[in-house]
Every structure is written in C-alpha cells, then in structure tokens.
Structure 1
Amino acid sequence: MSSTRADTAARGPYCAMSELLRERFAARDLKLFSPRPAQSVQSGRFRTRFRGRGVDFEEVRLYQAGDDIRSIDWRVTARTQTPHTKLYSEERERPVYIVCDQRSPMFFGSVNCFKSTLACHIGALLGWAALHSGDRVGTLVFGDSDFRDARPKRSKHSVLQLLQFLESYNHALQSPIASTGGLSLAQICKDLRRIATPGAAVFIISDLHDLDDEAEKQLFHLQRHLDITLIHLSDPLEQQLRAHGPLTITDGASRVQLPAQDTQFQRAYEARAAEHLAQLQARAQRLGLERLALSTADSHTQLLRQRFGGARRGGRQ
C-alpha cells in the first residue's frame, strides 16, 4: 500500500472498523522496540530494565564446569547422586498492553476528528505493530463506567478483539459531559497493576485530563515493573481559544454566549490550559515516563513513524 493513504489523519466523530483494519498497513513501518544483536543462545530480542531473570525453564542436564551453582537442581542431584543444573531460556518477546481511554471527555474535537476517534486509530496502529513484531497483544479499553480487558496473545484474533472493543466503546459515546462517579484514570491504573504482567510494555492512550495525585501514585507503582508510555491526546481548541465571531459555551445544561472580543476570557482560558500541560509534563518527568503528545490536527501515522520508525528509532530498549 502506498504511504499516501497511511499518512492521512483520522476523521470524524466515530471510528470505522474498516479504517482500524487498514491501520495494519501503516503498522509495518513501526518497530515498538529496538532489536539488539544476540549475545548468546539464551539472549532475548530486547534489553529490559526490570530486575529478575525473566526466563522460562527448559530442561535439566548434567552440571558442567562454569555453570552457576545457584541453578543446581538439588532434587535431581539427590536422586541421581550426580550434580544436575537447570537450563533457562530468556523470553523472546515482550507482552504489549494497549490501554485506551474512551470516556466522555474524549468525545470532543474541532479538527479532523474527535480525541476518542484518534485514540482508536492509535490503539489499532500500535496493536498491529506489536503483532507484526511477534509480540503478544493485550487490551484494556475503558469507558465512563466499565472496561474490557483481554490477556496478551500472539495472534491476529487478539488484535481483532482489540478493534472490536475500540469500536464498541467508541460508538457508545454520545456526549463530552462525563457522568459523576465514573471510572478515573487512577482506578484504571490500579486495575492495570492486577492485569499486566511484570516486564510488559504498556501504552496508555488518553487526554490525561484526570492525571492527578492519586493517578500519579498508581503510575509510580506501575512503572517499577512495567515499561509505560503515555500517549497524550489533545485538540487545538483546548490549548488556544480563537474565534471570528461570538462563542457559545455550554456545560450540557445551560449556554452562555461570549463576545469575540472577550480577550480577558481567552487569556485566562489559555493560561489554564498551559498550566495543565505544565503539570502533566512535571508529573511525567517525576515518574520518569515518556509522554508522546498528539493532536487531532496531526497525522498520527507520521508522528508515530517518527517515534517508532525502525531506521530512525534507537533509544527504547
């Protein structure tokens, strides 16, 4: 497939299954993890910063000079009266979890598409990229009141299940006004601690509007065992309020019209948006997490190719 179609931005208030399936073509250009040359027959494809062996048991054989005495199988040794040692092989893939926000505040957009639609396209693209790399793909898609998750599997079915969850939650959205008492990012992170296996790579796709102290606390616990990337979605209108005529603002129940020349309100609005962005950056830095920023005005395939393109990508280990 030509790169022209792959580079187009997501469109509309809702995603389409045909478009999510089409993301598999653009995913061929992405490498979520940097490969490294094998150091031995037991080497995996990726370095990991997580403690522990992270290995699978393979077999028991006779002890040889130079073997690690900590790997001696004492039961077999006692039974045979001959030293035996256990052999392990390192994991040759890393589970990938796609965590996608489909709550009401994501149902907003002024350019190209809504944030919720963009999140679906990014989730689909990352899922296909992980599958193309031979990794197991897990899913957690959440709305205002519930979520669906699926354990990581290395199969096309796992990605198709991800797409079904994305489409279902996306098409259930009706309003950007969130109901009270809904799921928070902190709650999702807490559930993620139970669901995700240590050493997995986690991509959290959200506008991060409620990344507060409690969510930061949960992310702190998560990042000790998981490789987390925050994909922060926004819309240009959320950052800069510009209009040629009067503005009508509503909270879903009442409406207020502001004159186009109300520069005081515009400055206050943009200052608050800048403050929120600065807080997000500070939290990500404190946690040591990577934050990728994408807007509904962007081509998500181009930006993700810049970050995860095989030839241009070197830092993520």
Structure 2
Amino acid sequence: MRRARQRGRGVEFDEVRAYAAGDDVRAIDWRVTARSGTPHTKLFHEDREQPILVAVDQRAAMKFGSQRCFKSVMAAHIGCLALWSGLQAGERVGGAVLGDKGIADSRPKRSQHAVLKVIRDLVHAGTPQSDNSAEQPSIADLIQQLERISRPGTRLFVISDFHDLLDEDHLAPLRRLARKTQVVAISVADTLEAELPRAGYYSVTDGDNHSQLDTGISGIRESYAADYQSHQSLIARRLRELRIPLLAVRTDDEPLKRLLTVFPAR
C-alpha cells in the first residue's frame, strides 16, 4: 500500500496487516477491516530511518579486469555488501541495476527478498545478450530513475566507473538527486586502465576483434597514465562541486575494507 506521511506523529505509514494481540487498537484501519471482515491495523515507522538504495553499473564497459575480477564483479560485490549491511542495521533497502538493455529497480523494503531481488537483477545483467540492437542506457538514465524511486533522506550508493558522467546533460540530474538524497559515489577501476604494462608487445581483444599493443613506443605509457589521471581528476572535481563524497576502488582491493570507510560497522 502507498506510504503517506502522518503529520504530527513523527512517524510514517508503512503498511496494513492483520491485527495481532498487543497491537494498538487506535491504529486499527477501519476501512480495511470493514472490507475484509477481519481486524487490520496500520503499521508505522519513525521518520528518522534512512532507507538505502544501491545503484550498480553492469554495462559492457564494466566487464573488464586484469586483476582478481572484472569491475562489474567488484561493483556487484560492494553493492551486495552495502545492502546486507543496511538490512542488518534495520533499514529498508532497495536497488537499481544499470545493464546494457535497461534498468531494473526495486524500491526499498525491510526484507531479505529486497536484497535477493537486486542479486537476481545483477545476475541477469551479467548474462550475455544476443540482441545488441537496443540503445545502451546512460548513467543519466540511471540517475533519473533513482530520482523517481528515492525519497528525501535516502542514503544512495552509486557504483560505476563513471566513464560517461561528464556530459552536462548527465550532471544535471545528479545535481538534483544530490539535493534530495545523501549520495555516495563509488568509482571502480582496474590497474590496467591507469597504467599500461611494462614495455613489450601484448595481444588485446574486445571479444570480437584482435590486435597487438606495443607499450614500448616512446612516451606512450606516460601519456596513457596522464590521460587517465586527468579524466579521474575531472570526475572527482565535478563530484566535489556537488558535495558528493567519492570512494575510489580497484579490482584488486578488498571490497569490505573499502566499503567500511563510508559504511561503518554497527
């Protein structure tokens, strides 16, 4: 049932369920009771709760890794840890998964099923798709969806490599979202994105095409590292302007230790 704010009570309507011994008789929902023929009571929760939404990027660019796992796997791992931690702390949890074909989302609930729903969406997004004709959604599409499903005060973890964040069209919805919720950006990268391997010839492929990379060309490693650092610095500056904290994670990091820097154990 739709949640509605109860003015003056300091609580928010959560749901209606069958009356149980010990329930406050003042909270009986007489309309539902009349329709069903059995007593039903309204349940409320305190306004001070802080629902948690976890948004995980699982698009093609995230399916890369040279260390212990792909960026997509690290992002999924961190997202699931945040969801289980939030649920254990008594918060409502939900999520959104950005895949190559669209966005799967679930509104926050205080239930293990809410976490399992996000996990299923992550598994589906990681399954190879035969139809590549659909236009890939952008990070802005994800942020706009998060605007629709979040409520003021929600704590929101956005986990991505943010490769397409810098367009102004993409920053505008993030600016609106940051005013409404408490956004934490978690950037996932791989060591090979930041620094080319030592001088030599390397075979590279995107799964369809194959080529040779010569990292011994004069200045190529320095130029590559400088371009990456410049891009990451620009992302960090834009997020800082929006007062959004940024946690940088590598694919060879220990996800729990990194997450605890912004999600302290309780």
TM-score normalised by L of structure 1: 0.66
Name stretches of at least 5 consecutive residues in structure 2 with no aligned partner.
1-6, 14-43
What's the secondary structure of 1:112's corresponding residue? coil
What corresponds to 1:162 in structure 2?
118
Pair 1:241 & 2:241 matched: no
* Aligned residue among 217, 234, 237 for 1:279: 234
CA RMSD of aligned residues (A): 2.6
Name stretches of at least 5 consecutive residues in structure 1 with no aligned partner.
1-51, 59-87, 312-317
Deviations 1:225-255 (A, max 9, x none): 1110001000000001113530234456644
What corresponds to 2:152 in structure 1?
198
Pair 1:264 & 2:219 matched: yes
Shift of residue 162, structure 1, vs aligned partner? 1.5
Identity over aligned residues, as a percent?
Answer: 35
Whether the 8 Å CA contact 1:103–1:173 is kept in 2: the answer is: no
* Aligned residue among 205, 208, 211 for 2:165: 211
Deviations 1:240-298 (A, max 9, x none): 11135302344566444233421322222111101111111111111000101100011
Q: 1:197 to 1:255 in 2, by over 3 A?
A: same
The answer to which structure, 1 or 2, has the higher relative contact order (CA under 8 A, 6+ apart) is 1
1:302 maps to a residue whose letter is K
What corresponds to 1:227 in structure 2?
182
Q: 1:254 to 1:157 in 2, by over 3 A?
A: closer
Q: Distance in 2 between matches of 1:54 and 1:262?
A: 69
* Aligned residue among 152, 163, 171 for 2:108: 152
Shift of residue 300, structure 1, vs aligned partner? 0.9
**Which deviates more from structure 2 when the two are superposed, residues 230-239 or residues 144-153?**
144-153
What corresponds to 1:38 in structure 2?
none
Q: Distance in 2 between matches of 1:295 and 1:310?
A: 21
What's the secondary structure of 1:110's corresponding residue? coil
Whether the 8 Å CA contact 1:144–1:179 is kept in 2: the answer is: no
**Which deviates more from structure 2 when the two are superposed, residues 88-97 or residues 229-238?**
88-97
In terms of fraction of residues, the more strand-rich structure is 2
Q: Distance in 1 between matches of 2:240 and 2:109?
A: 32
What's the secondary structure of 1:273's corresponding residue? helix
Q: 1:249 to 1:57 in 2, by over 3 A?
A: closer
TM-score normalised by L of structure 2: 0.78
Aligned length: 228
Q: Distance in 2 between matches of 1:270 and 1:149?
A: 36
What corresponds to 1:297 in structure 2?
252
Q: Distance in 1 between matches of 2:61 and 2:133?
A: 10
